[in-house]
Amino acid sequence: MKKLYEGKAKIVYATESPDEVLIYFKDDATAFNGLRKGTIAGKGHYNLAISQIFFDYLAKHGVKTHMVGIVDDLTMRAKKTEIIQLEVVVRNIAAGSLCKRLGLPEGKELEKPILEFYYKDDALGDPLVNDYHIEALNVATKEELAELGRQALKINELLKEFLIKANLLLVDYKLEFGRLNGEIILADEISPDTCRFWDKDTRKKLDKDRFRNDLGEVSEAYKEMLERISL
């Protein structure tokens, strides 16, 4: 298979179809824009399995995704999309960079979700951008930006409803989208790598913050997330 792209957490390969790709999920882990690197045992498998559950759930509720199917424990078959160079972030509870930027205490529940956009550029550290930056960079049109926000907030409500049944809080998360045949569809993954998940009662972190902040039991947290949403 021809390798098309390799990122920090995944490798994308060409397939026999020009319209589809294979996405291989790695156990490699990075934090702080690649300044910290390591390996989390089983991460690729857990992230793929968790993403599959979320994508299946969202698809049943009218959200179009790039997932075609699962090839094996580490590989997803997906539609080939033109990835939009924006990370779309939704925040429900103050954590991470939001606390540093606004001086909010970690764990403060926000009155309504905060929607943010980050320009996907590793060399620049994926900076926070607004509508004017996005227009100047010619990354997305105003109509596309509105659609990204609409889909992200719809996904937020669906995921919160899904996770609360497992006694889990959706603190915040990052989404990526792609263009396909004139439509914008959900791409990439939804996993402990791209989301903050907390136990509702104990506020135990079940995501990559355990790796970022040296909390230990990282692989165990990913495994617990998979088990809890599989019920």
What is the pLDDT, as a whole number, of residue 22?
98
pTM value > 0.85: yes
* Cα atoms found within 13 Å of the Cα of residue 84, Cβ hemisphere only: 26
What is the pLDDT, as a whole number, of residue 212?
93
Structure tokens at 133: 């930056």
Mean pLDDT by 10 residues, the chain (231 residues): 92 97 94 77 97 98 98 98 98 97 97 98 94 96 97 98 98 98 97 98 97 95 97 70
CATH 3.40.50.2300, domain 3-79, yes or no: no
What is the pLDDT, as a whole number, of residue 33?
66
How far apart, in Å, are the Cα atoms of 18 and each of 61, 81, 89, 229?
28, 11, 30, 33
- Cβ partners under 8 Å of residue 62, min gap 6: none
CATH architecture of 82-216: 2-Layer Sandwich (3.30)
What is the pLDDT, as a whole number, of residue 36?
76
| Domain limits, the chain | 3-79, 82-216
